[in-house]
């Protein structure tokens, strides 16, 4: 077997399970290919590929990392926002990445990341590099896979946050508004909200009205429940805002990019119920992956090693109906997975009395 040189990078926002996936793919490669594989860790995402920051890794570098949060390789946001229109600067960046790929004499580049990472991975693949993607994100919004690693862990953390808010909200007879990450897709808020027993859930996919949020809180109070929990996705928007482009929506909000604080003030002013808001933010992305995410990341990693062994490039690993498989990078790049309005869990949530204020 000819020796293979594999470069690996993690890009975009970190999430639990990145190290488990790095470990899964590298262990599976060493197991399959022994001394016939060399692995290069590229530092801080695509930035490391552009700037030539990488180092040869040893098998021992990948030991003891299964349970660790974050990424041992470091990460950074995408090197360019709009890759469909490649400006001069971007041409240079793509050129640098190709050059460093050649300099490292890579046979394959593994990219672990979310939507932005996959767009760049598809671009590099179209530019002749052998690329394989692995889908990570707490947002669970990558097209073509039912689940991404990081999501399950974040649902657990979001649920715990809501659980803890319950006892303090109940003790004080307050409404508590909690903002859950997810700028464009509401998967994390929907699952954490249902798991934590939120009373109102606001998602980007189901625009809301302030009046309906306040009514839901009032209805509970009339029924003797003097406290309420409102789970708000970071990207939630009102029905009026939904008519606007994102840029105009943000401008209208005067730089206050999310609605959590406004929802809290509206409830307090219109119901008289004392209301507080809180934003767990990056807390949702930190720490050790759940057992489910460790298993998923290991499965994805082992599958990526198989794709490499088969010289099957230009692909990204996916889980479809419980089966680990792969999609073409170019088929999924630039697309996202949003919560469908008729998703079963939305129907279930409505059935148990959760309001979406839509
Ligand atoms: O994509 C993952 C995510 O955590 C989103 O839910 C959130 O909107 C965003 O990243 C936050 O990005 P940053 O870490 O760059 O502030």
- Give the nearest ligand 1 atom to 77 CA: 15
Alpha helices in 18-172 (DSSP H): 18-33, 46-51, 88-103, 115-126, 151-172
Rounded to the nearest angstrom, the distance between the alpha carbon of 181 and the centre of ligand 1 is 7
Same fold flag, 4-149+289-332 and 154-285: yes
Helix, strand, coil abundance in the chain, percent, nearest 5: 45, 20, 35
CATH ID of 154-285, from 3.40.309.10, 3.40.50.460, 2.30.110.10, 3.20.20.450: 3.40.50.460
**284-317 tens-digit pLDDT:** 999 999 999 999 999 999 999 999 999 999 999 9
Q: How many CB atoms lie within 10 A of CB 134?
A: 30
Sorted by where each begins, the domain ranges of the chain are 4-149+289-332, 154-285
CB distance 158 to ligand 1 below 6 Å: no
Ligand 1 touching residue 280 (CB < 6 A): no
> What is the reported pLDDT for 82?
46
Active-site hit among 14, 107, 139, 199: 139
Distance 281 CA to ligand 1 centre (A): 8
Q: With contact defined as beta carbons under 8 Å apart, do 152 and 293 qualify?
A: yes
Percentage of the chain beyond pLDDT 90 is: 91
pTM of the predicted protein model: 0.96
Of ligand 1's listed atoms, the one at least distance from the Cα of 284 is: 4
pLDDT of residue 1: 65
Helix (H, G, I), strand (E, B) or coil at 80: coil
Q: What is the pLDDT of residue 253?
A: 84
Annotation: CATH topology of 4-149+289-332: Rossmann fold (3.40.50)
Give the residue whose CA is nearest to atom 12 of ligand 1: 13
pLDDT of residue 91: 67
Q: Does residue 189 have a pLDDT over 50? A: yes
Distance of alpha carbon 286 from its chain centroid, rounded?
12
How far apart are the CA of 75 and the centre of ligand 1, in A?
A: 13
pLDDT, tens digit, 9 for 90 and up, residues 86-139: 555 666 889 999 999 999 999 999 999 999 999 999 999 999 999 999 999 999
Is 92 a catalytic site residue?
no
């Amino acid at each position: 077997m000819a020796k293979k040189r594999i470069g690996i990078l993690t890009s975009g926002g970190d999430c639990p399970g990145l190290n488990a996936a790095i470990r899964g793919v590298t262990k599976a490669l060493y197991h399959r290919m022994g001394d016939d594989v060399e692995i290069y860790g590229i530092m801080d995402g695509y930035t490391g590929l552009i700037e030539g920051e990488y180092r040869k890794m040893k098998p021992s570098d990948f030991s003891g990392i299964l349970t660790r949060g974050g990424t041992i390789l470091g990460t950074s946001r995408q090197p360019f926002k709009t890759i469909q229109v490649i400006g001069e600067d971007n041409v240079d960046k793509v050129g640098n990445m190709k050059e460093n790929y050649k300099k490292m004499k890579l046979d394959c580049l593994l990219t672990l990341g979310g939507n932005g990472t996959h767009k760049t991975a598809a671009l590099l693949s179209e530019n002749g590099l052998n690329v394989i993607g692995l889908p990570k994100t707490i947002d669970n919004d990558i097209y073509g896979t039912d689940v991404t690693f990081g999501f399950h862990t974040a649902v657990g953390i979001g649920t715990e946050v809501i659980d803890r808010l319950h006892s303090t909200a109940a003790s004080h007879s307050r409404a508590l508004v909690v903002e859950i990450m997810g700028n464009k897709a509401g998967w994390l808020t929907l699952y954490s909200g249902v798991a934590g027993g939120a009373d109102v859930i606001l998602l980007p996919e189901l625009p809301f009205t302030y009046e309906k949020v306040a009514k839901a809180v009032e209805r509970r109070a009339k029924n003797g429940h003097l406290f309420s929990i409102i789970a708000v996705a970071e990207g939630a928007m009102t029905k009026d805002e939904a008519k606007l482009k994102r840029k105009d929506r943000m401008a209208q909000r005067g730089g206050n990019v999310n609605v959590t604080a406004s929802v809290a003030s509206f409830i307090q002013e219109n119901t008289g119920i004392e209301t507080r808001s809180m934003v767990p933010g990056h807390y949702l992305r930190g720490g050790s992956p759940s057992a489910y995410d460790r298993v998923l990341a290991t499965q994805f990693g082992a599958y990526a090693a198989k794709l490499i062994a088969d010289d099957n490039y230009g692909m990204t690993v996916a889980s479809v109906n419980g089966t680990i498989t792969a999609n073409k990078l170019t088929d999924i790049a630039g697309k996202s997975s949003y919560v469908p309005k008729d998703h079963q869990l939305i129907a279930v949530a409505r059935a148990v009395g959760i309001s979406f204020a839509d």
